[in-house]
């Protein structure tokens, strides 16, 4: 996840115009956004499974379940739920991707540091369980 975040930050630093005009950059961004969102969803699913709660039907529901459980804030849960919905579009190609819009929507990547810190805190608090 750290690598995907680093790559996405670098690609976004180049600016929107460079992003939308370069297919290689777009492909790297799409793949790394997919990996980063998937990592958040996988972590959420593992924590939910460990808690004994019933499995959510979608990745977005997994993140909102973490918010409801107080593992992460609801605000963070909602931002990352949007990221995993974007991941679904990237993976399944539901729509023709507007790369300008993809660039604009990638600000959620900064939320992954907050997510990692919240998960680390939760793990420290629950190490004995």
Q: What are φ and ψ of residue 98, in 5° steps? A: -90, 105
Q: Is the pTM of this model over 0.85?
A: yes
**What does the pLDDT look like over 72-107, one tens digit per residue?**
999 999 999 989 988 888 888 755 778 898 899 898
Sites in the chain below the pLDDT cut of 70: 94-95, 129
DSSP state of 88: H
Task: Note whether 40 and 115 are within 8 A (CB).
Answer: yes
> Domain ranges in the chain?
2-124
Sequence-distant (≥ 6) Cβ neighbours of residue 41 within 8 angstroms: 59, 62, 63, 84, 87
- Inter-residue contact 115 to 63 (CB < 8 Å): no
pLDDT reported for residue 62: 95
pLDDT of residue 89: 82
pLDDT, residue 129, reads 58
Q: What is the mean pLDDT of the chain?
A: 91
Architecture of the domain delimited by 2-124 = Up-down Bundle (1.20)
DSSP 14: T
pLDDT at site 70: 93
- Check residue 94 and give its pLDDT: 57
């Amino acid at each position: 996840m750290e690598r995907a975040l680093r790559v996405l930050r670098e690609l976004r630093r180049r600016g929107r115009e460079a992003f939308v005009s370069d297919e290689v950059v777009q492909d790297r961004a799409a793949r790394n956004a997919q990996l980063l969102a998937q990592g958040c969803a996988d972590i959420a699913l593992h924590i939910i499974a460990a808690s004994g709660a019933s499995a959510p039907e979608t990745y977005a529901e997994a993140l909102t379940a973490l918010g409801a459980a107080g593992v992460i804030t609801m605000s963070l849960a909602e931002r990352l739920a949007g990221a995993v919905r974007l991941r679904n579009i990237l993976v399944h190609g539901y729509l023709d991707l507007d790369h300008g819009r993809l660039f604009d929507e990638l600000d959620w990547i900064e939320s992954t540091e907050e997510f990692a810190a919240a998960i680390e805190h939760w793990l420290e608090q629950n190490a004995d369980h």
